[in-house]
Amino acid sequence: MLTTGQDQDKPVRRRRPGPLGRALVVEDDGLIATDIAEALVEAGASPVEICASIAHAMERLERAVPALLILDVHLADRDDGWALAELAIQLGESPPLILFTTATPDSIPQSAAELGHVLAKPFRTEDLIALVRREKPRGLLGRIRNALSGSD
């Protein structure tokens, strides 16, 4: 399930999270946001929500902390998107996997960059999904399956 900022007043169907869990994409470029969100849905994230601003993302975080937070750090309403990552870590029972996306990776303070992974724009969505799959903590059955198959 994919929802965007335009859907914020509509009731959201509740579904069980997919294998990758709930994802929040915070990106003010609609084309990039949609591309990332569609790739996450195909990879098993559910639901996936898109927010074009820090303000809207903060509203979403009040409702639920995602398992995945894909975050452009330079948005129209704020230029310090990493503050949202810090908030998400404090709100949830378990911290989300955080991926910062930016055309200027050197502009992220080192202390903020350490909260997650930094993907320099432009990047391929396949690379983003590979990073999510590699870093996403797996449950017991996933670890057993990987051990039996010789992965990891």
Contact between 58 and 78 under an 8 Å Cβ cutoff? The reply is: no
What pLDDT, in 10s, does the model give residues 44-99? 999 999 999 999 999 999 999 999 999 998 898 888 888 899 999 998 788 899 99
Where does 2-149 sit in CATH, by number?
A: 3.40.50.2300
Domain-by-domain residue ranges, the chain?
Answer: 2-149
Q: What is the pTM of this model?
A: 0.79
What pLDDT, in 10s, does the model give residues 99-147? 999 999 998 899 889 999 999 999 999 999 999 999 875 554 445 544 5
In order, the DSSP letters of 76-133 are: SS-S-THHHHHHHHHHSSSPPEEEEEES-GGGS-HHHHTTSEEEESS--HHHHHHHHH
